[in-house]
């Protein structure tokens, strides 16, 4: 019954890497980043850490159109993302009007227990000018 979450070098490494990055990265990229930094962590473990951190709300997942999941350490509250399709640079945004619209629309059609996904994908300032 004592589901104690243990602190390990690997978990710390993954968490630390995500903290110092502000873009969305794939599990494989994170794995490579860690290896490059000398913090060798098994790919399987990277996936497990990310899954655990996702469940506890520490990271957000974004499923790209190429079928690859991207991860990022985000603020804990409800928010959405404005993502650069070229470099992955991400801005967290809140969207009160969207929340209202989603709730009302769902109600109108008799839907309950609703969640929603809202992402804006574009080119950031730097990528557009280069």
Partner DNA sequence: GCACTACTGAAAATGGTTGTCGTTAGCAGT
Partner DNA sequence: ACTGCTAACGACAACCATTTTCAGTAGTGC
Binding site for a copy of itself (CB under 8 A): 61, 63, 65, 67, 69, 82, 84, 91, 93, 95, 97-98, 101-102, 105-106, 109-125, 128
Q: Which does 5 bind (CB under 5 to 8 A by kind): a copy of itself, DNA, none?
A: DNA
Beta strands in 42-84 (DSSP E): 59-63, 69-73, 80-84
Cα distance between residue 95 and residue 80, in whole Å: 7
Query: Residue 60 burial (CB < 10 Å; 0-12/13-18/19+)?
Result: buried
Residue closer to a copy of itself, measured from CB, 6 or 109: 109
Residue span binding DNA (CB under 7 A) among the ranges 17-25, 44-52, 91-99, 102-110: 44-52
Residue closer to DNA, measured from CB, 69 or 123: 69
Q: Which does 40 bind (CB under 5 to 8 A by kind): a copy of itself, DNA, none?
A: DNA
Q: Is 43 in the site for DNA (CB under 7 A)?
A: yes
**Quick check: 104 and 115 in contact, CB under 8 A?**
no
Cα distance between residue 22 and residue 18, in whole Å: 7
Q: Is 23 in the site for DNA (CB under 7 A)?
A: no
Cα distance between residue 4 and residue 1, in whole Å: 9
């Amino acid at each position: 019954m004592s589901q104690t979450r243990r602190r390990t070098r690997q978990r710390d490494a993954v968490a630390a890497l995500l903290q110092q990055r502000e873009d969305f990265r794939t599990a494989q990229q994170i794995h490579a980043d860690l290896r490059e930094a000398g913090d060798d962590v098994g790919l399987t473990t990277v996936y497990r850490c990310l899954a655990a951190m996702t469940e506890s709300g520490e990271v957000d997942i974004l499923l790209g159109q190429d079928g690859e999941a991207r991860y990022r350490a985000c603020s804990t509250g409800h928010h959405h993302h404005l993502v650069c399709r070229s470099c992955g640079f991400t801005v967290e945004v809140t969207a009160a009007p969207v929340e209202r619209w989603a709730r009302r629309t769902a109600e109108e059609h008799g839907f309950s227990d609703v969640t929603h996904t809202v992402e804006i994908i574009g080119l950031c300032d730097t990528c557009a000018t280069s």
